């Protein structure tokens, strides 16, 4: 039996997450989501001989430019069923997969990552509980469902704190830093706007311009029959933020990539610096913690683990992402194995690849406002990179519309010392706006 038939025959035998199954090159990987992560996964997996099919609502999505695409909404059951039929194994590039679709895919196809990992990482409180259950520290936190609970939680934890929605936040959206007690009510209104609406007035008092009228308040209350689910976290005065991408294969092999030091601007990742500028002992510990979490959760595939490093070298895990992560893009040019190849290996149950770092690297994100200049800089004769000994590797995602703040690509700056990569970013002058 040829490799492809072997892979396909395996696919017919055991549906669901069940027993680990090895899928050899020639098998088809179905990806829920057709953005840049799916695209880079498909480019990397295609090089190994896998086939891909992506599901995405946007015509000509980044992944659809390099692989066949089913164009439909993410929660379209028929489209999900088609994806299941066309693929031998299913993965996803984002964690907010509709629960019904996740269940359908698990039933009708092979989803080695299962749906429990999604269920956990879609919700900050469940996620923190899972991290703690793996024996790994998170910032002190409290569950919050009302302004009164927020006040009580803030009194217990002490300010400053960060209030976050339990679900749906990204790039700093759905959260507010609270430094003084007077800011509690405003933060609650900002993070849980519907829940903060005042109870409908019986008569008289006019609604303030920014509070809904009685009918709207009722609509809002009906649309949100439950208390909002929020989490209040102690603000960690971190020395820096790092992340570790760990992988676990379907049969339980675990490996992690070297930690990246991450610098955010306006809550969007700007730079990843590798090696991270923290002592080696902390880097080792960070990898251990990430591996502990990925094992403790029985996760399959990649798990990105974001952490805070305090002045005295303590580590707190901030959040998880069960997929390739922006802070792991540096691996594409700087490690023996890229995070995308590693994800494919993990879900297809191949031995995991070597994660050794081959060279220091600085990854800089290219947002909409940087796109033209970054292409210019990376594609023209560049004396600065020669002088600094920096090799810029350009990755552009093929998004049809460029917008301010939208991730359009990234550049991996391979260098002898990360200081030289950082100097290149400074000198190209593109990232100042």
Ligand X SMILES: Nc1ncnc2c1ncn2[C@@H]1O[C@H](COP(=O)(O)OP(=O)(O)O)[C@@H](O)[C@H]1O
Which alpha helices (H) appear in 134-279, and where do they start and end? 147-157, 184-191, 214-223
316 belongs to an annotated ligand binding site? no
CB nearer to ligand X: give 63 or 236.
Answer: 236
DSSP 8-state symbol, 182? G
Burial of 1 (0-12, 13-18, 19+ CB in 10 A): exposed
Angle, alpha carbons 212-218-185 (nearest 5°): 55
Site for ligand X, residues 286 to 315, rule: CB under 6 A: 306
User: What binding mask, one character per residue, do residues 120-159 give for ligand X by CB under 6 A, x or -?
Assistant: -------------------x--------------------
Binding status of residue 261 toward ligand X by CB under 6 A: no
Question: Minimal CA–CA distance to 159: which of 175, 183, 132?
Answer: 183
What is the sign of the dihedral through the CA atoms of 208, 210, 211 and 215? positive
Q: Closest separation between CB of residue 237 and ligand X, Å?
A: 7
One residue of 43, 111, 144, 236 binding ligand X per CB under 6 A: 236
- Which residues partner with 271 through β-bridges? 263, 364
Question: Minimal CA–CA distance to 233: which of 169, 318, 148, 122?
Answer: 318
- Could you tell me which stretch among 33-41, 114-122, 230-238, 284-292 binds ligand X (CB under 6 A)? 230-238
Q: Closest separation between CB of residue 96 and ligand X, Å?
A: 11
One residue of 19, 75, 267, 310 binding ligand X per CB under 6 A: 267
Binding status of residue 318 toward ligand X by CB under 6 A: yes
Q: Closest separation between CB of residue 267 and ligand X, Å?
A: 6
One residue of 88, 93, 127, 241 binding ligand X per CB under 6 A: 241
> Rounded CA gap, 302 and 257, in Å?
10
- Which residues partner with 144 through β-bridges? 230
- Could you tell me which stretch among 53-61, 142-150, 232-240, 252-260 binds ligand X (CB under 6 A)? 232-240
CB nearer to ligand X: give 139 or 413.
Answer: 139
**Long-range Cβ contacts of 384-387 (<8 Å, 24+ apart):** 384/424, 384/427, 384/428, 385/424
Binding status of residue 162 toward ligand X by CB under 6 A: yes
> Rounded CA gap, 422 and 360, in Å?
11
285 belongs to an annotated ligand binding site? no
CB nearer to ligand X: give 307 or 366.
Answer: 307
Binding status of residue 171 toward ligand X by CB under 6 A: yes
Binding status of residue 95 toward ligand X by CB under 6 A: no
Q: Which residues bind ligand X (CB under 6 A)?
A: 139, 162, 169-172, 233, 235-236, 241, 264, 267, 306, 318-319
């Amino acid at each position: 039996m040829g490799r492809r038939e072997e892979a396909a025959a395996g696919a017919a035998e055991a549906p669901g997450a069940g027993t680990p199954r090895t899928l050899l090159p020639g098998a088809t990987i179905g990806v829920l989501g057709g953005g840049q992560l799916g695209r880079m996964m498909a480019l990397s997996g295609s090089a190994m001989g896998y086939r891909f099919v992506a599901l995405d609502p946007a015509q000509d999505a980044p992944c659809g430019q390099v692989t066949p695409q089913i164009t439909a909404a993410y929660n379209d059951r028929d489209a999900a069923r088609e994806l299941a039929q066309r693929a031998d194994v299913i993965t996803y590039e984002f964690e907010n997969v509709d629960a019904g679709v996740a269940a359908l895919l698990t039933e009708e196809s092979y989803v080695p990552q299962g749906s429990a990992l999604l269920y956990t990482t879609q919700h900050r409180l469940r996620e923190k509980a899972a991290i703690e259950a793996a024996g790994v520290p998170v910032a002190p936190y409290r569950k919050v469902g009302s302004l009164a609970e927020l006040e009580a939680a803030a009194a217990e934890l002490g300010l400053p704190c960060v209030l976050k929605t339990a679900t749906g936040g990204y790039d700093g959206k759905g959260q507010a830093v609270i430094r003084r007690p007077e800011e509690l009510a405003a933060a609650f209104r900002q993070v849980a706007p519907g829940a903060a609406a005042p109870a409908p007035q019986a008569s008289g008092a006019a609604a303030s311009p920014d509070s809904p009228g009685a009918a709207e308040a009722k609509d809002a209350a009906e649309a949100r029959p439950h208390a909002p689910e929020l989490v209040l976290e102690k603000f960690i005065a971190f020395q820096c933020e790092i992340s570790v991408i760990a992988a676990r294969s379907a049969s339980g092999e675990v490996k992690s990539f070297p930690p990246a030091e991450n610098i955010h601007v306006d809550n969007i990742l700007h730079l990843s610096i590798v090696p991270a500028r923290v002592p080696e002992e902390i880097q080792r510990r960070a990898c251990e913690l990430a591996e502990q979490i990925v094992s403790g959760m029985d996760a399959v595939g990649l798990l990105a683990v974001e952490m805070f490093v305090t002045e005295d070298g303590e580590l707190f895990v901030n959040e998880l992402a069960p997929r390739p992560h922006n802070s792991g893009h540096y691996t594409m040019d700087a490690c023996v194995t890229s995070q995308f190849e590693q994800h494919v290996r993990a879900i297809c149950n191949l031995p995991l690849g070597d994660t050794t770092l081959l060279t220091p690297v600085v990854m800089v994100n290219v947002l909409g406002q940087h796109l033209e200049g970054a292409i210019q800089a990376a594609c023209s004769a560049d004396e600065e990179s020669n002088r600094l000994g920096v090799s810029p590797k350009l990755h552009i995602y093929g998004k049809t519309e460029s917008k301010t703040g939208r991730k359009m690509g990234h550049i991996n700056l391979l260098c002898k010392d990360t200081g030289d990569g950082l100097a290149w970013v400074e000198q190209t002058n593109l990232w100042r706006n």
